[in-house]
C-alpha cells in the first residue's frame, strides 16, 4: 500500500468527498492542533471547536478504499467538543477502539466506549465530545449505497436513505457487521491484487451495504419481486434475517420477536400484514430449504437418510416432511438424495 500522505496532500483534497478519490491509502499524523483541527473541521464539517489539548497532543488519520467505500482509523489525543453539520454524501459507521466518544443529535444521546459500534446520523446536526478517542471507521458513499439497494429490490423514501438509530439493532447483527468489515479489510483492502480487481471491490461493497442495512435501523423498505411491491419494514426484515441465520437452532416466535424488537403478537401481525404468512411458517420454510441443501449434498452410501436429515432440521414426521418437500420442490426427498 502507498505510504501516508503529508498534511499538504490532505489540504489539496476536495471538500465534497475527501476520502473517495482513489483506492490508495491516504493518511496524516501531526502534533500541531491547528493542523489537526483544520483537517477534521473540513472532513467532518465541525464548527465551534472547543479543544482541550496538552503537551502530549497528537492526531492521526489513515483511510483506504475506492469511490464507493473506504475504511480507516482516526485518533485524537486530548479532549474536544464540537458541533457538526449534516454529512449527506456518505454514511460513517464507527467502532471505538480506545477512549470515549459522546454523540447527540437532538433525538438521542450516545456515550460510547471501547468496543461500541455506532453510525453517525448523516441527515442531522450533531454534537460531539471526544476524550482520548481512537476510532475505526467505515464510510459508504450514499449515492452508491442507494443504487445498490435498488438492485436488491430495496427502496428508500423520497428523502433518501436515513438511519433511525445510532446503535446496532442487536448485538448479533452488530457482530455480523464487524465480521464483514474485518473480512473486507483483511481480504480486500490489505490485498493489492484484490483491490486491483473491479469485481472483487464490487463484491466487497455489496457485502458492506447488506450488512449495514441489516445491522442498523434505517428507513429502507423491501419492494419484493412481485407486482404488488409490498413494503417490508425493518422489523420484518430483521426477523427474516434471524430465521435464515438460526433456522437450525431451537428458536420459535419468542426468539424471532426479540430479534425483530417486537412482541410475539406484534410479530405475528406484521408477518400477516406484510407477508401474508406466519412467523412459524417462515421458519418452517427456512428449515425446509436447509434440509433440501443437505439432501442435495447427501450420500446414501455414507449413511445419509431422508429421515435423519429431516429430523436434524426439526421435522419429526417423515411423511409430513415428504409432503411438504414434494410440494415445494416438485420431487420427493428420496429422489433428491439419490440423484
DSSP string, 52-81: E--TT-EEEEEEEE-SSEEEEEEEEEEEEE
Residues 197 and 332 in one domain: no
pLDDT in tens, 286-315: 999 889 988 988 888 888 999 999 888 988
Residues 332 and 183 in one domain: no
CA nearest neighbour of 159 among 219, 229, 222: 219
The pLDDT of residue 16 is above 90 = no
Where among 181, 201, 221 does a domain terminate? 201
The pLDDT of residue 199 is above 50 = yes
Question: Mean pLDDT lowest for which of 73-82, 145-154, 328-337?
Answer: 145-154
The pLDDT of residue 6 is above 50 = no
Residues 174 and 301 in one domain: no
The pLDDT of residue 156 is above 70 = no
pLDDT in tens, 248-290: 888 888 889 898 888 888 888 888 888 888 888 899 999 998 8
Answer whether residue 242 is part of any domain.
no
Residues 47 and 168 in one domain: yes
Answer whether residue 97 is part of any domain.
yes
Answer whether residue 223 is part of any domain.
no
The pLDDT of residue 4 is above 80 = no
- Mean pLDDT of the region 193-207: 86
pLDDT in tens, 221-250: 654 433 333 457 888 888 998 998 899 888
Answer whether residue 237 is part of any domain.
no
Helix ranges (DSSP H) in the chain: 7-11, 33-44, 142-151, 171-184, 192-195, 198-215, 234-246, 253-260, 264-275, 279-297, 306-312, 318-329, 333-338
CATH assignment of the domain containing 24 = 2.60.120.10
Answer whether residue 256 is part of any domain.
no
- Mean pLDDT of the region 114-142: 91
Residues 176 and 291 in one domain: no
pLDDT band at 155 (very low <50, low <70, confident <90, very high): low
Give the 3-state secondary structure of residue 327.
helix
Rounded to an integer, what distance in angstroms lies between the CA atom of residue 313 and that of residue 293? 11
Residues 195 and 292 in one domain: no
State which residues form the domain around 311. Answer: 287-338
Where among 148, 182, 201 does a domain terminate? 201
Residues 193 and 304 in one domain: no
The pLDDT of residue 334 is above 50 = yes
Angle between helices 318-329 and 279-297 (to 10 degrees): 90
Tally of domains within the chain: 2
Residues 44 and 171 in one domain: yes
pLDDT band at 98 (very low <50, low <70, confident <90, very high): very high
Answer whether residue 81 is part of any domain.
yes
Answer whether residue 253 is part of any domain.
no
Answer whether residue 293 is part of any domain.
yes
As a whole number, the mean pLDDT across the chain is 82
What confidence score (pLDDT) does residue 223 get?
A: 41
- Mean pLDDT of the region 103-112: 88
Higher per-residue confidence, 226 vs 4: 226
- Cα angle: 234, vertex 83, 115; to 5 degrees: 55
Residues 164 and 310 in one domain: no
Where among 179, 201, 223 does a domain terminate? 201
Question: Mean pLDDT lowest for which of 115-124, 214-223, 253-262?
Answer: 214-223
What confidence score (pLDDT) does residue 20 get?
A: 36
What confidence score (pLDDT) does residue 22 get?
A: 37
Amino acid at each position: 500500500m502507498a505510504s501516508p500522505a503529508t498534511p499538504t496532500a490532505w489540504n489539496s483534497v476536495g471538500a465534497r468527498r475527501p476520502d473517495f478519490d482513489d483506492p490508495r491509502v491516504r493518511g496524516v499524523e501531526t502534533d500541531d492542533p491547528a493542523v489537526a483541527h483544520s483537517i477534521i473541521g473540513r472532513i467532518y464539517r465541525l464548527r465551534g471547536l472547543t479543544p482541550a489539548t496538552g503537551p502530549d497532543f497528537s492526531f492521526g488519520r489513515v483511510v483506504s478504499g475506492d469511490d464507493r467505500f473506504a475504511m480507516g482509523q482516526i485518533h485524537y489525543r486530548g479532549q474536544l467538543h464540537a458541533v457538526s453539520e449534516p454529512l449527506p454524501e456518505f454514511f460513517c459507521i464507527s467502532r471505538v477502539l480506545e477512549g470515549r466518544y459522546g454523540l447527540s443529535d437532538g433525538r438521542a444521546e450516545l456515550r460510547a466506549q471501547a468496543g461500541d459500534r455506532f453510525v453517525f446520523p448523516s441527515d442531522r446536526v450533531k454534537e460531539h465530545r471526544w476524550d482520548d478517542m481512537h476510532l475505526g471507521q467505515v464510510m459508504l458513499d450514499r449515492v452508491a449505497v442507494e443504487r445498490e439497494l435498488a438492485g436488491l429490490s430495496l427502496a428508500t423514501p423520497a428523502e433518501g436513505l436515513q438511519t433511525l438509530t445510532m446503535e446496532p439493532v442487536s448485538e448479533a447483527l452488530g457482530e455480523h457487521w464487524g465480521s464483514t468489515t474485518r473480512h473486507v479489510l483483511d481480504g480486500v483492502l490489505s490485498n493489492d491484487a484484490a483491490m486491483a480487481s473491479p469485481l472483487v471491490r464490487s463484491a466487497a461493497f455489496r457485502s458492506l451495504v447488506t450488512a449495514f442495512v441489516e445491522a442498523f435501523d434505517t428507513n429502507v423498505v423491501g419492494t419484493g419481486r412481485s407486482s404488488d411491491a409490498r413494503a417490508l419494514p425493518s422489523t420484518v426484515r430483521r426477523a427474516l434475517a434471524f430465521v435464515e441465520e438460526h433456522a437450525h437452532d431451537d428458536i420459535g416466535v419468542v426468539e424471532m420477536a426479540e430479534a425483530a424488537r417486537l412482541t410475539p403478537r406484534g410479530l405475528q401481525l406484521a408477518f400477516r400484514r406484510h407477508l401474508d404468512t406466519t412467523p412459524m411458517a417462515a421458519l418452517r420454510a427456512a428449515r425446509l430449504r436447509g434440509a433440501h441443501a443437505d439432501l442435495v449434498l447427501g450420500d446414501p452410501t455414507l449413511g445419509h437418510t431422508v429421515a435423519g436429515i429431516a429430523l436434524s432440521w426439526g421435522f419429526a414426521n417423515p411423511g409430513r416432511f415428504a409432503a411438504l418437500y414434494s410440494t415445494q420442490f416438485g420431487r420427493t426427498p428420496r429422489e433428491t438424495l439419490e440423484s
